[in-house]
Chains A and B, each alone.
Chain A
């Protein structure tokens, strides 16, 4: 018998490889965040004031809470553009139960429950009927917000119970708002979920190759369903925060948010084609967008200019890797 097993000397990982992964997009984002901080504090003396900074977090925490599960969903090769409509429906129903005199916890419960139900509904449509998620959620986007319009019309609900304002306006300690603390906690949770658990690993596997994942015994549809529901739950939570912060509900609440949320995710280095991306990158992109918006606010630059910058960043982010590859290939050919 010659079953000599040759002891291979293949290392577990090349020493640089783990670093390299991190050195790319995330580092670049950190650098820009740093630059923006320096520029902002140079341009405006109010920038480094802790209370100002704390105020600035309010303009992104709610979106960022949805960006976290959205990143996982996009990594798994799906997308949900109905999130802003989920916020609207969830906020509307919260408003209605509040009008009926529901207590604070009842209102919050309804908000999260409606969000979860909407997410589940998206997930069922996608997995049960095998329809591309972009079409499903274009449909449910109209449906969810449409129901809000049916229920509220041009009404505005303002009768929220006392204490409800804490979620969107309260502070846990010093300058740390409830929203900010909640975001930090969820960011850590999603980091752990995506990068440390089986659930996260399955997400990457499905996003890169759904067939091979299914052939490896992963319940692909169930996983997708869970992800859609997760996005729904987080949208429900975001709806609670936003409604509480504004103190009012109208059907047009959070209009257009789906696009800024998806932009955050893509800017954070998540591939829109699925399969790659990190929570760290998304968190950095969220901070970056928040800081730039805040800085421009201090400089009295209108918010819409920000949308141009975000749009350009988005295109650069997806085009740059392609351009680099094309450039490398042209070098190869000229040799």
Chain B
């Protein structure tokens, strides 16, 4: 089992991330201290959660470009509600962010499910719409930290066993996603629908509905992250998380989620996100300007997909059965 993991894509990737982590630690021991490790994880928590949602979407051969705009809209909405009613219960605000996010995700999902429109176009469109709607909602104004209530800002920072609530939320979602994608029929259906939609249909899986669920989950998580984002950075404005959708997709691709669907794991996805998180946090430590970060993740995406492409090449159909024929061929070819 362990051997299998180490030789798998996730295994190799986690070794790379660990190697990176510890070699930075060799330069600056503080980096691998428990506090800093928790800090890195906490920094990456939002990326991890969004990447988990995006993974479901990508598994079914779709893509969700609207997540970052969803984050901005939902974040702005809950921030404004909090500003208007400072005493409102946090449970209500979190529920609100989940529902609003789910609603925005469901819009994407319905178009893909019922109209079979390519998801890249739909989410490209809703990405502009959600971002524009954020502007209309706020009239371009910012909600600053002094306009937010104490509990609104405090909740993600509240530490339990020295891990902040934001980190715990990510941990909870990782465990939930792991269980769902491994042990529930609902989760396995994503692999079926994306791996071979025709065969999935033959097996009684409603592919369109599964795609809808993917967008629904991606949207719900984006809504939750909307709250976390504005509360963590203690500011809400129109351009929150601008361009972040590409980092989310990058985390998935680095983590081995195949863009052509049907292949990807929760662990891979988390490690892919952590890879980006570790790089972001390590660069200042080792004295490399943070401006390197973008080029590094670009290079890693390219390397990851090339590695994927060469390992996934379909093996040739084999008609010849006798092994000696094949070997004879190989020897004639080498002449």
Query: Could you tell me which A residues sit within 8 Å of B by CB distance?
Result: 125, 129-132, 134-136, 138-147, 149-150, 152-154, 251, 255-256, 259, 262-263, 266, 272-273, 302, 304-308, 310-312, 314-315, 318-319, 322-323, 326
* 6 A–B contacts from the bound complex (CB under 8 Å): A129-B310, A131-B306, A134-B259, A140-B298, A146-B297, A263-B125
CB distance from A153 to the nearest CB of B (A): 5
Asked if B298 contacts A143 (CB within 8 A), the reply is: yes
The secondary-structure label for the interface of chain B is: helix
Q: Report Cα–Cα, A153/B136, bound state, in Å.
A: 33
Instruction: Assess whether B243 is interfacial by the CB under 8 Å rule.
Output: yes
CB contacts (< 8 Å) of A131 on chain B: these are: 305-306, 308-309
Q: Report Cα–Cα, A310/B132, bound state, in Å.
A: 10
Q: Report Cα–Cα, A171/B213, bound state, in Å.
A: 54
Give chain B interface residues in 253-288, CB to chain A under 8 Å.
253, 259-260
Apart from A150-B292, A256-B243, A311-B132, list 7 A-B contacts with CB within 8 A: A135-B301, A141-B298, A149-B294, A310-B125, A310-B128, A314-B124, A326-B115
User: Closest residue to B302 on the A side, CB-wise?
Assistant: A139
Q: Report Cα–Cα, A266/B310, bound state, in Å.
A: 32
Asked if B120 contacts A319 (CB within 8 A), the reply is: no
Asked if B294 contacts A322 (CB within 8 A), the reply is: no
Asked if A139 contacts B305 (CB within 8 A), the reply is: yes
Most chain B CB within 10 A, of A134, A142, A256, is at A142
CB distance from A95 to the nearest CB of B (A): 15
CB contacts (< 8 Å) of A326 on chain B: these are: 115
Q: Report Cα–Cα, A266/B122, bound state, in Å.
A: 11
Asked if B132 contacts A150 (CB within 8 A), the reply is: no
CB contacts (< 8 Å) of B297 on chain A: these are: 142, 146
CB contacts (< 8 Å) of A143 on chain B: these are: 294-295, 298-299, 302
The secondary-structure label for the interface of chain A is: helix
CB contacts (< 8 Å) of B296 on chain A: these are: 146
A142-B133 contact in complex given A135-B253, A311-B125, A322-B116, C-beta closer than 8 Å: no
Query: Could you tell me which B residues sit within 8 Å of A by CB distance?
Result: 63, 111, 115-118, 120-122, 124-129, 131-133, 135-136, 140, 238, 242-243, 246, 249-250, 253, 259-260, 289, 291-299, 301-302, 305-306, 308-310
CB distance from A163 to the nearest CB of B (A): 31
Asked if A129 contacts B135 (CB within 8 A), the reply is: no
CB distance from B283 to the nearest CB of A (A): 11
Asked if B298 contacts A144 (CB within 8 A), the reply is: yes
Q: Report Cα–Cα, A147/B295, bound state, in Å.
A: 6
CB distance from A249 to the nearest CB of B (A): 15
Q: Report Cα–Cα, A241/B140, bound state, in Å.
A: 30
Q: Report Cα–Cα, A306/B136, bound state, in Å.
A: 11
Partner of B136 from A147, A256, A262, A308 at Cβ < 8 Å: A308
A318-B298 contact in complex given A141-B246, A259-B128, C-beta closer than 8 Å: no
CB contacts (< 8 Å) of B295 on chain A: these are: 142-143, 146-147, 149-150
CB distance from B186 to the nearest CB of A (A): 27
A305-B117 contact in complex given A135-B305, A141-B246, A142-B301, C-beta closer than 8 Å: no
Asked if A322 contacts B259 (CB within 8 A), the reply is: no
Q: Report Cα–Cα, A212/B81, bound state, in Å.
A: 57
CB distance from B306 to the nearest CB of A (A): 5
Q: Report Cα–Cα, A266/B128, bound state, in Å.
A: 14
A319-B117 contact in complex given A130-B309, A140-B298, A312-B125, C-beta closer than 8 Å: yes
Q: Report Cα–Cα, A145/B296, bound state, in Å.
A: 11
Q: Report Cα–Cα, A260/B109, bound state, in Å.
A: 22
Q: Report Cα–Cα, A129/B140, bound state, in Å.
A: 45
Q: Report Cα–Cα, A262/B122, bound state, in Å.
A: 12
A142-B291 contact in complex given A262-B124, A304-B131, A311-B126, C-beta closer than 8 Å: no
CB contacts (< 8 Å) of A272 on chain B: these are: 118, 120-121
Asked if B132 contacts A308 (CB within 8 A), the reply is: yes
Question: Sorted from nearest, which 10 A-B pairs have the closest CB atoms?
Answer: A146-B295, A142-B298, A143-B298, A146-B294, A308-B132, A311-B128, A139-B301, A311-B129, A149-B291, A314-B125
Q: Report Cα–Cα, A326/B136, bound state, in Å.
A: 34
Asked if A307 contacts B132 (CB within 8 A), the reply is: yes
Asked if A305 contacts B135 (CB within 8 A), the reply is: yes
